[in-house]
Amino acid sequence: MIGRLNHVAIAVPDLEASAAQYRDTLGAQVGPPLDQPDHGVTVVFIDLPNTKIELLHPLGDASPVAAFLERNPSGGIHHICYEVDDIGAAAARLRAGGARVLGDGTPRIGAHGKPVLFLHPKDFNGCLIELEQI
């Protein structure tokens, strides 16, 4: 059901400094900051030959990433994202297997302009999983 790894998301306390570290220290190709108000974050994508890194920073006090950074002030891995061909079919299969889809279960448009869903970390070894339809 799941396809390739789309990205690893890292919550960061300072988006500009983190983007500069990837660009200047690691020599990575770093994209511009993109506000995602529906998700409460600003993101920066770092393109790698085989996947992407997504730097996440809170956009507003109600951001779920703000709560994550309160618990992890230095930042850390927030979630991993896998690609799926059909997000509706993937969600139905996961629910049938007992996995919890977060929110109301309706896919929302993510930072790549494609439908996404998140799966409860308690159902996946403590890891928040994002599914993105390709």
Q: How far apart are CA 134 and CA 128, in angstroms?
A: 19
Token pair of 99, please? 């996995």
Name the catalytic one among 16, 70, 83, 130.
130
- Is 130 catalytic? The answer is yes
Q: Which of 33-41's residues contact partners 24+ apart within 8 Å by CB, and which partners? A: 33/57, 34/111, 35/59, 36/110, 36/111, 38/108, 38/109, 39/108, 39/110, 39/111, 40/64, 40/65, 40/66, 41/65
Structural Rg of the chain based on CA atoms: 15
Active site residues: 130
